């Protein structure tokens, strides 16, 4: 069989986009009586995507719609899952309450950016669901409230193929997505994209590129540079940090900034050059040893050793005001990527917290401190 051309790989959409589409269709049926076979969903970074509605069921004062999640040409475990949204009106005026039903996991450990006990519906999907709802209800929200129940009939079974049980998300899958779109996970196509992006940047005469792990870190690094970097200097490397740095050396890029969050930067600090979640896990002993170097107490070291995620470690370090910890991760990441006696590549590592504030930096030069202000 002929291998499919990587450049023609079809994109998919996230569970968050699926939930937003099902919500919008259900509210249209509830409020207007019209049953639709597709809806347009507004994406977090702008633009819209049309999503097919699988089926609609009218209940007693509620409507349920289903979307079949499509992961594109390189799907994950949730590809083909039915994402359901059941909507109804209530008398809690001006509110949109989003709940997790059957097959949506519950958070049982800290460090996931959601309260313990909450449904595993991440903030960006929640925002997408609310946006979709408001596009339908309009001014009615001033006289009524809306209850939205997201469920995934096979979610508990699907979750066993993911990291959810290890992370303490029990009973189902997570409703995820930061951009609303799933880019096919193809080593060949991603590598080609990195090479091509570097070629364009150099052809445009730039001497600095910012390699980011995704869309959010790209948005934050724009602010880090006070919006002075041209768009062609911004390159999403995804999980391919080792490959991206190698290409920067080959193509003789002068200045490289790697920007990301604590999880992937810690993996890089550990020496992992391909950081996809299924291929590696953050080592809590490694993170605790870094904290030991910051003269942390035995109590804090114990909390880190028992942390659930790298984000959880970040919360512990921030809560206890430990100075220099995030800079140290950046320094270790820098050391893992720079070659002995290398003079050709000027590399800087930047760590953001989840609100976009710089929390770690190496090297911390005078110029880079100005960037952080």
Q: How confident is the model at residue 177 (pLDDT cuts 50, 70, 90)?
A: confident
Neighbours of 117 (CB within 10 A): 8
pLDDT value at residue 75: 67
Q: Which residues contact 251 (CB under 8 A, 6 or more apart)?
A: 198, 199, 202
Question: Bigger pLDDT: 314 or 181?
Answer: 314
Q: Average of pLDDT values for 196-220?
A: 89
Does residue 342 sit in helix, strand or coil?
coil
CB 44 within 8 A of CB 127: yes
- Rounded to 5°, angle at Cα 214 from 211 and 217: 75
Strands (E), 1-144: 12-13, 38-42, 48-52, 55-58, 62-68, 82-90, 96-100, 103-104, 106-107
pLDDT value at residue 182: 78
Which contiguous run of DSSP H or E holds residue 47?
none
pLDDT value at residue 74: 66
Q: Average of pLDDT values for 211-232?
A: 90
pLDDT value at residue 162: 84
pLDDT value at residue 86: 98
Q: Is the pLDDT of residue 223 over 80?
A: yes
pLDDT value at residue 2: 37
- State what percent of residues in the chain have pLDDT above 90: 68
Q: Is the pLDDT of residue 184 over 70?
A: no
pLDDT value at residue 370: 34
The string of pLDDT tens digits covering residues 157-169 is 999 988 788 788 9
Q: Which of 76-90, 210-224, 339-353 has the lowest mean pLDDT?
A: 339-353
pLDDT value at residue 112: 83
Q: Is the pLDDT of residue 368 over 60?
A: no
Kindly provide the b/e burial profile for residues 43-62, where b requires at least 16 CB atoms within 10 angstroms of the residue's own CB. bbeeeebebebbebeeeeee
The string of pLDDT tens digits covering residues 17-57 is 999 999 999 999 999 999 999 999 999 888 999 999 999 99
The pair of three-digit structure tokens given for residue 162, joined into one six-digit string = 């993911």
Q: Which of 80-84, 97-101, 271-275 has the lowest mean pLDDT?
A: 271-275
Q: Average of pLDDT values for 337-351?
A: 84
Question: Bigger pLDDT: 74 or 133?
Answer: 133
CB 65 within 8 A of CB 85: yes
Does residue 171 sit in helix, strand or coil?
coil
pLDDT value at residue 372: 37
Question: Bigger pLDDT: 88 or 9?
Answer: 88
The string of pLDDT tens digits covering residues 238-292 is 888 999 999 999 999 999 999 999 999 999 999 987 765 555 578 999 999 999 9
Q: Average of pLDDT values for 81-109?
A: 96
CB 173 within 8 A of CB 155: yes
pLDDT value at residue 282: 87
Average pLDDT, the chain: 89
- Does the pTM surpass 0.95? The reply is no
Q: Average of pLDDT values for 102-122?
A: 92
Calculate the alpha carbon distances from 217 to 54, 87, 351 in Å: 34, 34, 9
Q: How confident is the model at residue 369 (pLDDT cuts 50, 70, 90)?
A: very low
pLDDT value at residue 189: 62
Q: Is the pLDDT of residue 200 over 60?
A: yes
């Amino acid at each position: 069989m002929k291998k499919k051309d990587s450049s023609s790989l079809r994109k998919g959409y996230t569970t968050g986009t699926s939930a937003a589409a099902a919500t919008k269709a259900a509210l249209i049926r509830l409020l207007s009586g019209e049953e639709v076979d597709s809806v347009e969903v507004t994406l977090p970074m702008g633009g819209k995507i049309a999503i097919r509605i699988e089926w609609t069921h009218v209940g007693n004062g509620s409507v349920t719609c289903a979307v079949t999640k499509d992961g594109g040409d390189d799907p994950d475990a949730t590809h083909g899952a039915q994402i359901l949204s059941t909507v109804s009106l209530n008398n809690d005026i001006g509110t949109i309450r989003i709940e997790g039903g059957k097959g949506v996991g519950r958070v049982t450990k800290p460090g996931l950016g959601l309260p313990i006990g909450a449904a595993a519906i991440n903030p960006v999907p929640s925002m997408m669901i609310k946006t979709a709802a408001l596009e339908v209800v309009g001014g009615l929200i001033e006289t009524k409230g809306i209850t939205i129940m997201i469920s995934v009939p096979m979610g508990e079974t699907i979750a066993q193929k993911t990291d959810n049980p290890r992370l303490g998300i029990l009973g189902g899958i997570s409703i995820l997505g930061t951009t609303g779109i799933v880019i096919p996970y193809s080593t060949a196509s991603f590598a080609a994209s990195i090479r091509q992006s570097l070629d364009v940047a150099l052809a445009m005469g730039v001497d600095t590129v910012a390699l980011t792990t995704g869309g959010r870190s790209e948005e934050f690094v724009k602010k880090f540079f006070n919006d002075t970097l041209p768009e062609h200097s911004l390159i999403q490397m995804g999980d391919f940090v080792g490959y991206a740095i190698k290409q920067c050396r080959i193509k003789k890029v002068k200045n490289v900034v790697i920007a990301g969050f604590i999880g992937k930067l810690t993996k890089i600090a550990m020496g992992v050059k391909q950081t996809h979640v299924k291929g590696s896990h953050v080592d809590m002993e490694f993170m605790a040893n870094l904290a030991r170097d910051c003269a942390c107490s035995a109590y804090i070291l114990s909390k880190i050793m028992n942390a659930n995620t790298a984000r959880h470690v970040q919360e512990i370090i921030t809560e206890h005001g430990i100075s220099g910890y995030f800079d140290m991760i950046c320094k270790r990441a820098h050391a893992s990527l720079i070659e002995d006696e290398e003079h050709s590549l000027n590399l800087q590592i930047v760590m953001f917290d989840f609100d976009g504030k710089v929390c770690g930096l190496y090297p911390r030069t005078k110029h880079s401190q100005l960037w952080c202000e």
